A and B are shown apart, each in its own frame.
Chain A
Amino acid sequence: MDMNTEESIDAAVGLAIHTDALNLWYGDFQALYDVNLDIKKGRVTSLIGPSGCGKSTFLRSINRINERLGYVRIEGAIDVFGNNIYAPEVELVQVRKQVGMVFQRPNPLPASIRENILFGHKLHNRERKYSRDDEDEIVEESLRQVLLWDKVKDNLRRKATGLSLEEQQKLCIARLLPVKPSVLLMDEPCSALDPKGTAAVEELIWELRGKYSILIVTHNMAQARRASEECIFMLMGKVIEHTNTADMFVTPQHQETADYIEGRYG
């Protein structure tokens, strides 16, 4: 990625994602209104708000996966490390490489654990031929990072879809790592997991902070509180408040935020 002046400015203040008057429509329905956000590099930022307020929509516009739907229209800009990912000359594949995504329901591909880990890696490293040993190393390293290696090391050829949901979700995080993304998007990554699995995945996310800039959507406020450094509160497609997580939960600046935190929106 070439260095331009904008990038160096953002890098100086340590911004991973910067959005500028982001508006988004599904057909005629406007789902995001003038979203202006600065999300810091290397931090875990959580995104909270009542169901339907546009959290997923915002997240999914940061790797442009929203565009799978033909009827989505966007105005404004999103910079990822200083580069506007909606600029016309941008290669979608490069965006996806830089911005990894973990979905609400774990979605390993119906292939082996090993193949799942290597899937993205193979897509993005086609010019160079990797030996089996290289690949083994990548698989091991990725699985170690998500604390899954010891559990699956003897079953790398097993179907990934046969793992428990917690393991599947960890695998879905692990398969992003060989691609070396700088941003990880997670859309309610624990909502399909039981409390034990949730705790394990949260712990993992906490481990990964610093190395990656992580933006995590959650409807679980305890989780936002435990597992994030900054917190963004959204309501009806708008950003209401963005502060340190600790401040948000102790001294919210807006009435809506306070209402939500106290559970008045459900």
Chain B
Amino acid sequence: MSQAARQRSGNLPDINQRNADWYIDKLVQYLVFLSGISAIVLIVGIFVFVTIEGLGFLFEDFSFREFFLSPWWEPTDEDEPTYGILALMAGTASVTGLAMLVAIPFSLGSAIYVAEFASGKKREFLKVLIELLAAIPSVVWGFIGLSIMNPLIIDLFDVPVGLNILNAGIILGLMAAPIMTSISEDALKAVPDRYREAAEALGGTRWQVIYKTVLPAAKNGLLGGVLLGVGRGFGETMAVLMATGHAINIPGSVFDSVRALTATIAAELGETAVGSPHYQALFTIGIFLFSITFVINLSADLIVRGIRKS
């Protein structure tokens, strides 16, 4: 404020006075902005860190052919370590695939029930229950796989080991189902009621209305839900580590034990020398996983967002 202006204002309250509220407001704005961008900073930071750690391997020992096409993951071989992740990819893919076979009908069914049939208290109760299910720690699911599913599978199917694709696929399917249910339910709820009313007034039964009108109208959101489930499956570590049997294997049936990409990192990282080729190879797997889940989640998010907008 200029000297002249100050003189003119005389005894009037100084309208340019900044009091404590002004500073608090600025500070809060700043903090909120910081936490807002922290997500971006963290993502970029993690990606950079993982990339740097894996970089040495990428430039020296990395062979595209061996890495993606060899089924031999033998990083500790004294003479000739090999770093092939084909079997690990097959493990992750087969477990995730089975998990989706389990989770899709499950989550779609419960989403339809919650969104279209349940009402009032029942609906609220179910929604809370689904949220709770989603919050069960994955180690608990792994434990269920180890101590309940394992003997059950051995008994039921008369196989020597119960830690296999079947076990992990079911566990992972149940784990992914709640979030998929939530997303699908949102998608169904986002279908305007006018459509249901129109179809019903034309003579559709409840099921025809859902099947012919609501599901087609919600298909993008439902797809987004499935993609998120797939992302969850790729990224899940602990339960998969405990329930797959953790054996490197290109599976021939659901009763074969396999090993997942994530579980490999979790199990081996602690036992490697920092900076060794093995250590760096694990980080390269990390880069690979990160990229895949990033793409899957991003597309799921874009699809789901697309619906919200329209």
Residues of B within 8 Å of A65, CB to CB, are 197, 200-201
Contact, CB under 8 Å: B216 / A111:
yes
Q: Which residue of A lies closest to B194 (CB)?
A: A107
Bound Cα distance A176, B198 (Å) = 10
1/0 contact string of B197-229 vs chain A (CB within 8 Å): 111111111001000110011000000000000
Bound Cα distance A96, B199 (Å) = 10
- B288 close to chain A: CB less than 8 A: no
With A93-B205, A119-B202, A179-B202 as contacts: A68 and B216 at CB distance below 8 Å: no
Q: Which residue of A lies closest to B119 (CB)?
A: A70
Contact, CB under 8 Å: A172 / B198:
yes
Task: Assign chain A's interface to a size class.
Answer: 20 to 34
Q: Which of B198, B200, B203, B213 contacts A124 (CB 8 A)?
A: B203
With A93-B205, A179-B203 as contacts: A110 and B216 at CB distance below 8 Å: yes
Bound Cα distance A123, B200 (Å) = 11
Interface of chain B residues 163 through 196 with chain A (CB within 8 A): 194-196
How many chain B residues touch the partner (CB < 8 A)?
A: 18
Interface of chain A residues 169 through 191 with chain B (CB within 8 A): 172, 175-176, 179
Shortest beta-carbon distance, A181 to chain B, in Å? 10
Classify the secondary structure of B's interface with A.
helix
With A107-B194, A109-B195 as contacts: A63 and B205 at CB distance below 8 Å: no
Bound Cα distance A108, B192 (Å) = 11
Classify the secondary structure of A's interface with B.
mixed
Shortest beta-carbon distance, B180 to chain A, in Å? 23
Shortest beta-carbon distance, B123 to chain A, in Å? 12
Bound Cα distance A234, B300 (Å) = 51
Contact, CB under 8 Å: B198 / A96:
no
With A103-B194, A110-B216, A111-B216 as contacts: A119 and B201 at CB distance below 8 Å: no
With A70-B119, A105-B194, A107-B198 as contacts: A120 and B216 at CB distance below 8 Å: no
With A70-B119, A110-B216, A111-B216 as contacts: A103 and B203 at CB distance below 8 Å: no
- A97 close to chain B: CB less than 8 A: yes
Residues of A within 8 Å of B204, CB to CB, are 123
Shortest beta-carbon distance, A182 to chain B, in Å? 14
- A101 close to chain B: CB less than 8 A: yes
Bound Cα distance A96, B197 (Å) = 12
Q: Which of A97, A105, A109 contacts B199 (CB 8 A)?
A: A109
Q: Which of A100, A120, A124, A172 has the most CB of B within 10 A?
A: A120
Residues of A within 8 Å of B196, CB to CB, are 68
Q: How many inter-chain residue pairs (CB < 8 Å) link A and B?
A: 52
Residues of B within 8 Å of A96, CB to CB, are 200-203
Shortest beta-carbon distance, B188 to chain A, in Å? 14
Contact, CB under 8 Å: A107 / B208:
no
Shortest beta-carbon distance, A24 to chain B, in Å? 18
Shortest beta-carbon distance, B12 to chain A, in Å? 50
With A70-B119, A103-B194, A105-B194 as contacts: A110 and B201 at CB distance below 8 Å: no
Q: Which of B197, B205, B213 contacts A103 (CB 8 A)?
A: B197
Contact, CB under 8 Å: A68 / B200:
yes
Residues of A within 8 Å of B205, CB to CB, are 93
Q: Which of A70, A93, A179 has the most CB of B within 10 A?
A: A93
Shortest beta-carbon distance, B229 to chain A, in Å? 25
Bound Cα distance A109, B198 (Å) = 7
1/0 contact string of A66-110 vs chain B (CB within 8 Å): 001010000000000000000000000100110011010101111
Residues of B within 8 Å of A97, CB to CB, are 203
With A110-B216, A123-B203 as contacts: A103 and B198 at CB distance below 8 Å: yes
Q: Give the interface of B toward A (CB within 8 A).
A: 119, 194-205, 208, 212-213, 216-217
The 10 closest A-B pairs by CB, nearest first: A96-B203, A120-B202, A107-B194, A107-B198, A101-B201, A93-B203, A110-B217, A97-B203, A123-B203, A65-B201
Q: Give the interface of A toward B (CB within 8 A).
A: 63, 65, 68, 70, 93, 96-97, 100-101, 103, 105, 107-111, 119-120, 123-124, 172, 175-176, 179
11 more CB-based (< 8 A) A-B contacts, given A68-B197, A93-B205, A110-B217: A65-B197, A68-B196, A70-B119, A96-B200, A96-B202, A97-B203, A103-B197, A103-B201, A107-B195, A109-B217, A172-B198
Interface CB pairs A-B, < 8 A, 14: A63-B201, A65-B200, A68-B197, A97-B203, A100-B202, A103-B194, A107-B197, A110-B216, A110-B217, A111-B216, A123-B202, A123-B208, A175-B202, A179-B202
